[in-house]
A = this chain, B = another copy of it.
Amino acid sequence: MPATTQITLNAPLDMHLHLRDGEMLHNIAKASAKTFSGAVIMPNLVPPVSSKEEVVAYKARIMEAVGDEKFIPYMTLFFKPGYNRSFLESVKDEISAIKLYPAGITTNSEGGVSGFDIEELRPALEAMSDLGIPLCIHGETNGFVMDREAEFVSIYEKLATAFPNLKIIMEHITTKESVAALDRFENLYATITVHHLMITLDDVAGGMLQPHLFCKPIAKRPEDREALLKVALTAHPKVMFGSDSAPHPRHAKESCGCAAGVFTAPIALQLLAELFVSNNAPLENLQAFVSDNARHIYGLTPLKKEVILERTPFNIPSEYNGVVPMHASETINYTIKEVRYG
């Protein structure tokens, strides 16, 4: 039996996940919890998660939604420049990272950072650096949609230089410029989604317009996708899988003014298996991309969970509890056969 007919992943981690809240949280949390050992949970609720009490309460709501599944939500705070050292010390044990949004750049980011004045940010970022709290950043300017991420690279560089011991994670990178920045600064890391490894703007808007493939950052050019694929398939040690899976109800996607976000949580591992196998990438690279690199970068010891994928056609459902997944109703080549707890 060829090795690729069955693939075992140890403790897969989704290092960038939107679980939302309320009814949506209950509708979609298990989709991640079933097959991932844990996930870094984005804090852009309304209002954003920005106090210890909010983190603790949100984590409890997630655990309730997850039910019997074994799953660790790695919690984050929504970055505010006013966070001081004593607050960060007090909240440190409840969180795995802090997420910075430039103001108004994506869903529920209105309260984010405007301008990137190093001196204004210094107290909070130095304290994070000292306390070993990673800074996750949605790196886009408010420039032209195809240029926003490349324009933001100079801000990543400014921050990486000013805070050399702060772990800065460039979230859901989509461009060759961000990939290139990885190797120029020791303290820059990145997450990459599965959809940005698969699609370009052509898939979103080159034929009919595909709202279910519309996300922020928007999918870019073929040469950008190639650069992302290269570091993912070779398991560049500073690169981690983060799905940025973002559920919206169908009506919010198929309407005049479609919300940004691709829902991949229930199919991410199957798609990644197919992607690595079809590109002849070693399966140990897949293991590193979906788990090992993240363990090293974040210093995590995940829950023991083995996910066994099999090369068997899988028909992606048209909806998961009202949310349309990427490639809805299409057939992919890998299916999840079994999940084993250790």
A201 CB contact (under 8 Å) in B144, B255, B256: B144
> B residues within 8 A CB of A254?
254-256
Would you call B259 and A208 a contact (CB within 8 A)? Answer: yes
A210 CB contact (under 8 Å) in B218, B222, B253, B257: B257
Tell me, yes or no, whether A172 is within 8 Å of chain B by CB. no
Shortest distance between the CB of A165 and any CB in chain B (Å): 35
CA distance A202 to B216 in the complex (A): 12
> B residues within 8 A CB of A200?
144
CB contact list, A260-318 vs B, under 8 A: 260
> B residues within 8 A CB of A212?
256
Tell me, yes or no, whether A113 is within 8 Å of chain B by CB. no
CA distance A261 to B135 in the complex (A): 42
Selected A-B contacts with CB under 8 Å, 22 pairs: A144-B201, A144-B206, A144-B221, A146-B201, A146-B221, A204-B205, A205-B214, A205-B218, A208-B260, A209-B209, A209-B211, A209-B214, A209-B258, A209-B260, A210-B256, A210-B258, A211-B211, A211-B256, A212-B256, A253-B256, A254-B254, A256-B324
CA distance A200 to B147 in the complex (A): 13
* Most chain B beta-carbon neighbours within 10 Å: one of A202, A222, A253: A202
CA distance A202 to B144 in the complex (A): 6
CB contact list, A183-235 vs B, under 8 A: 200-202, 204-206, 208-212, 214, 218, 221-222
The 7 closest A-B CB pairs, nearest first, are A209-B258, A145-B206, A208-B257, A209-B214, A145-B202, A254-B255, A254-B256
CA distance A221 to B259 in the complex (A): 22
Nearest residue, chain B, Cβ from A259: B208
CA distance A205 to B254 in the complex (A): 14
A222 CB contact (under 8 Å) in B144, B221, B222, B260: B144
New contact pairs (17) apart from A145-B201, A210-B258, CB-CB < 8 Å: A144-B200, A144-B201, A146-B146, A204-B205, A205-B205, A205-B214, A205-B218, A209-B209, A210-B256, A211-B211, A211-B256, A211-B258, A253-B256, A254-B254, A254-B255, A256-B324, A256-B328
Nearest residue, chain B, Cβ from A329: B256
